Structure 1
Amino acid sequence: MSDLQGREYLSDRLEGTERLLGEAVAEELSLLVGLGEIPPISTVMICGDLYEYPDCRKPGGTGPVEAVFLSLSRVSEEVIAVLGNHDSLASTTILPAKIVVLNGNVVKTNFGLRVGGLGGIIGDPKRHNRWDEHAFVRHMELCIQKRPHTLMLHEGPEDTDGSREGNPVITQSLEKGFSGLTLFGHKHWPDSPLIDIGNGQALNLDARVVVVAPDVDANSATIKCPL
């Protein structure tokens, strides 16, 4: 999932207690598991931008996202995330060990998948969660050299065939150097979010929750239920 920037407004909630959209999604996922619509959740993977101001006064609010991480950790065995350019973590926050925030490193999931990640976007380094272009590409390629199966980014590649926005520098780097699956957000692609790129693939998760579940007939993974 990525870019769930919004709040849940319900008539029976007191003003100022509106949950972040990601917290509501955690409750919905728990309900789907309970109903048997999806299997128990092993790993939640988040590609950033989960915050919105309490009054949703303008798009792109910047603030803390621990509440979403903690909510999702209660419905899954582990949470792996990168931060978007609108996310922050309180300096005093100590997250449980089952929540991992990646920024250039690679971890192994409970089911053996090697996952690398790099947060933020390319831009003015003086602004929140932004890198200069050279530093971003260098750190991303160092991450790729650790041979992850999946790479998590906030800002991702462009789709040149479909004329959909992304960063061409990231596109070029993935085309020449990565054969796995790249997950990303930041720019919304309204349809056909999965593309081939070089020897790998990339999946746009902006404003999406995608549940990947085993296909019991084919004994392989299938995108089960986009929310």
Structure 2
Amino acid sequence: MRIIGRDVEPVTEIAYRRARSGGGTETARLTVGRLAVGQLPTGCDAVLVTGDLQGVTPSPWGGPPVLLGVALGDYLSVWAEQELIPPPARLAVVLAGDLYCAPTADRRGASGEVADVWWALASVGCRLIVGVAGNHDVVASDQLAELGPAAALLDGDWIDHGGVRFAGVGNIVGDPRRPGRRSEQSQLARLGAALTGRPSVLVLHEGPPGEHIDQPGNPVIGAHLREHPPTLTVCGHVHWEAPLARLGAGHVLNVDGRAILLTPQPD
């Protein structure tokens, strides 16, 4: 899944509520874009990559606000009917973590259960759902077991689908006494285990820095990945205005607060 496009082309967006810095809540927009890649998993017409969906909004079917990731799952079938995206049955989804928001969207850094996001994506028929836990997510593999082999919460391991190997590591480097954090040594051990599978796509919550000063990340992770860079590293946790950077012969794609459809190069 080598990226060959240079720019993310806008497709659509979702308005949602999120916690405002300094207190209270504010309206934001989840942008959905399109970026060309050279290969997709067999049986897929696109791969949707997203992360840091820390907001709430009503489903397109109405009702009270739900987690933004749950609403995103509901929107997939709407957008498919509008021919904006492929049908969910031809769509793989990659989740880079931090999918929780306080129900009132007025408290930054809230942590909570996010299995509902995975179930929402499965319920619309997505062909594959792989991802990692962010430092604000509460989710475990046993909560997703009934979704079958098409759903994989990764943490130092990998899954093959349609000729593409996806590996992943959740959480961030930090004080292991706090939720969603590991010591640097432990996190690098998980990362090393994931990389032994030589994945084409590596999914992280906390990723490496990019090429520019406004593309922050963990430099230790960056140094570790430069030894054997995957074709594509997907991450979030911190926001990049420009979502794409080179990493050796591969790329880093930052999906903090955005959703990007990886699609074949147009004719």
Fold match by TM threshold 0.5 = yes
Establish whether residue 103 from structure 1 lines up as the match of residue 155 from structure 2.
Answer: yes
Structure 1 unmatched ranges of 5 or more: 218-227
Deviation at 1:91, TM superposition (A): 8.7
Distance change (3 Å), C-alpha of 1:63 and 1:146: same
Establish whether residue 8 from structure 1 lines up as the match of residue 57 from structure 2.
Answer: yes
AA aligned to 1:100 is A
Q: Corresponding residue for 1:30?
A: 77
SS at match of 1:38: coil
Decide whether the 8 Å contact of 2:210 with 2:252 is kept in 1. no
Q: Corresponding residue for 2:258?
A: 208
Deviation at 1:74, TM superposition (A): 2.4
Q: Give the Cα–Cα distance (whole angstroms) in 1 for the partners of residues 248 and 142 of structure 2.
A: 41
Establish whether residue 64 from structure 1 lines up as the match of residue 113 from structure 2.
Answer: yes
Bigger RCO of structures 1 and 2 (CA < 8 A, at least 6 apart): 2
Q: Give the Cα–Cα distance (whole angstroms) in 2 for the partners of residues 37 and 89 of structure 1.
A: 31
Deviation at 1:215, TM superposition (A): 3.2
Decide whether the 8 Å contact of 2:229 with 2:250 is kept in 1. yes
**Equivalent residue runs for 1:53-202 within 5 Å:** 53-75=102-124, 76-89=126-139, 93-95=143-145, 96-97=147-148, 98-109=150-161, 111-190=162-241, 192-202=242-252
Distance change (3 Å), C-alpha of 1:184 and 1:92: closer
SS at match of 1:72: helix
Q: Corresponding residue for 1:221?
A: none
Which is worse superposed, 36-45 or 150-159?
36-45
Deviation at 1:94, TM superposition (A): 4.5
Deviation at 1:126, TM superposition (A): 1.0
Distance change (3 Å), C-alpha of 1:92 and 1:195: closer
Deviation at 1:92, TM superposition (A): 6.9
Decide whether the 8 Å contact of 2:109 with 2:136 is kept in 1. yes
Q: TM-score, normalised by structure 2?
A: 0.74
Distance change (3 Å), C-alpha of 1:68 and 1:127: same
Deviation at 1:46, TM superposition (A): 0.2
Would you say how many aligned residue pairs link Structure 1 and Structure 2? 212
AA aligned to 2:244 is L
Bigger proportion of residues as strand = 2
Q: Give the Cα–Cα distance (whole angstroms) in 1 for the partners of residues 254 and 266 of structure 2.
A: 25
Deviation at 1:13, TM superposition (A): 6.5
Decide whether the 8 Å contact of 1:7 with 1:20 is kept in 2. yes
Deviation at 1:163, TM superposition (A): 3.6
Decide whether the 8 Å contact of 2:97 with 2:132 is kept in 1. yes
Distance change (3 Å), C-alpha of 1:155 and 1:94: closer
Q: Percent identity?
A: 35
Structure 2 unmatched ranges of 5 or more: 1-49
Decide whether the 8 Å contact of 2:134 with 2:205 is kept in 1. yes
